[in-house]
Amino acid sequence: MAENQAIGSPTKVLTVSELNRLARDVLERSFPLFWVSGEISNLTRAASGHWYFSLKDSGAQVRCVMFKNRNSYLGWIPKEGDKVEARAVVSFYEARGEFQLAIEFLQQAGLGALFEAYERLRLKLESEGLFDAAFKKPLHQYPRQIGIITSADAAALRDVLSTLKRRMPSIPVILYPTPVQGKGVANLIATAIDKASKRAECDVLILCRGGGSIEDLWQFNEEIVARAIHACQIPIISGVGHETDFTIADFVADYRAPTPTAAAELATPDRNNLLAGIMQIEQRISRQIRYLLENRSQQLDYLSRRLLSPLQQIKHKRDTLTQLQSRLKTASTTQLQQQQQRLIQLGQNLQHLNPQAVLERGYAYVENANGELVSSSKGLKTGQRVALNFKDGKTDAEILPASLFRS
């Protein structure tokens, strides 16, 4: 009520998150679980295991997501262009404001005849009153013995036995074995129900099997099974398939459980009105947690696609950097070689200018008494003491008159 008032208030300004949350609530409350058919396009199987695709017909299309916890139960993988029938609920991806369908089950088109047969039998049995609450038998609060009707090799049997042992190990269990899948199995299931009813050894019967396709569960949609359940004198709990699987057996049975494990919980002594309320709360919380997990999972898929683009850019930059490093190495090597050549040339030039090299050729240079280089005879006087520097050392000398050396 508060949300509706907020929407209608002229002064209320919604945030985008509030608007999208309200839109999701309205859509999900307005559309129950339904079937839709179309052609698959733009199919993407994400690394997370989720499937993203569109369902389209000649006039429109709608975005769809099938999460891993749903598509893992399929016995086939769809591809582009497949004509399919999908069981779905309307969903709204708040983070991006996108309308979409959350697919619970997917099958190839052409199974419509099975659903027509299912609906015809459902309407027929309903009109005869087989689904009426008046025929539903109450469960014993403290059953002395529990019967199970299923295959001895079924995984569902192990789940049920494990649950019964955990909740009330003192209650004896009787198995009425029967195949639960294959041609002609409906007759065998009905026979097992009749046997359990006539022997009257148990206070409650659990009819169960694991999940599967509509063909796998079809024996529980057969009229002979429905009438055997209706005629049984012992209360029957139907625990067939998964939470979203509904069979004719579910409608006729005295109680319907979403899974075989839940059927075992319903049959045990502490199952009462309070527990029924707790189960409703548990299922509501479970759906909300699943939505939050799936929502975050979609966000992760979206971010992973964005991350791929920066990774490609990083690779391009890395390649560019490698090229620049190679060019820098080549340029550095060339520059070093040029400088080494110049150093050699300068060394040679320096060697030519080295006074020691001049002395090697027989020359000498003159220093006065102060050790200063004498570069001109004008600065010398007769009798002045000087030093003559040769290549292998120096010696003292005295300046004599130049006339002494004239011929």
Domain that holds residue 106: 2-110
Same domain, 327 and 373: no
Q: What are phi and psi of 19, to 5 degrees?
A: -60, -50
pLDDT of residue 326: 87
Is residue 208 included in any domain, yes or no? yes
Same domain, 259 and 167: yes
Closest CA to 140 of 259, 233, 258: 233
Is residue 194 included in any domain, yes or no? yes
Same domain, 13 and 82: yes
Q: What is the mean pLDDT of residues 273-281?
A: 72
Q: What is the mean pLDDT of residues 13-21?
A: 86
The CATH number given to whatever domain includes residue 203 is 3.40.50.280
**Do residues 205 and 236 touch, judged by C-beta distance below 8 A?**
yes
Same domain, 213 and 118: yes
Same domain, 189 and 238: yes
Is residue 136 included in any domain, yes or no? no
**Do residues 213 and 75 touch, judged by C-beta distance below 8 A?**
yes
Which token pair is 141? 């609060």
Same domain, 200 and 96: no
E strand or H helix at 345 = helix 273-353
Query: What does pLDDT average to over the chain?
Result: 86
d(C-alpha 252, C-alpha 255), whole Å: 8
The CATH number given to whatever domain includes residue 65 is 2.40.50.140
Same domain, 121 and 237: yes
Same domain, 386 and 331: no
Q: What domain count does the chain have?
A: 4
Is residue 368 included in any domain, yes or no? yes
Is residue 294 included in any domain, yes or no? no
Burial of 22 (0-12, 13-18, 19+ CB in 10 A): middle
- pLDDT tens for 285-332 read 988 998 888 888 888 888 888 888 787 888 888 888 888 888 888 888
Same domain, 124 and 266: yes
pLDDT of residue 319: 85
Same domain, 126 and 248: yes
pTM for the full model? 0.45
Is residue 340 included in any domain, yes or no? yes
Same domain, 386 and 364: yes
Is residue 69 included in any domain, yes or no? yes
Per the listing, tokens 């707790």 go with 278
- pLDDT tens for 91-125 read 888 888 888 999 999 888 866 667 778 888 999 99
- pLDDT tens for 361-388 read 777 878 888 888 887 877 788 888 888 8
Report CA torsion sign: 88, 94, 95, 96. Answer: positive
Same domain, 366 and 345: no
Is residue 373 included in any domain, yes or no? yes
Q: What are phi and psi of 316, to 5 degrees?
A: -60, -45
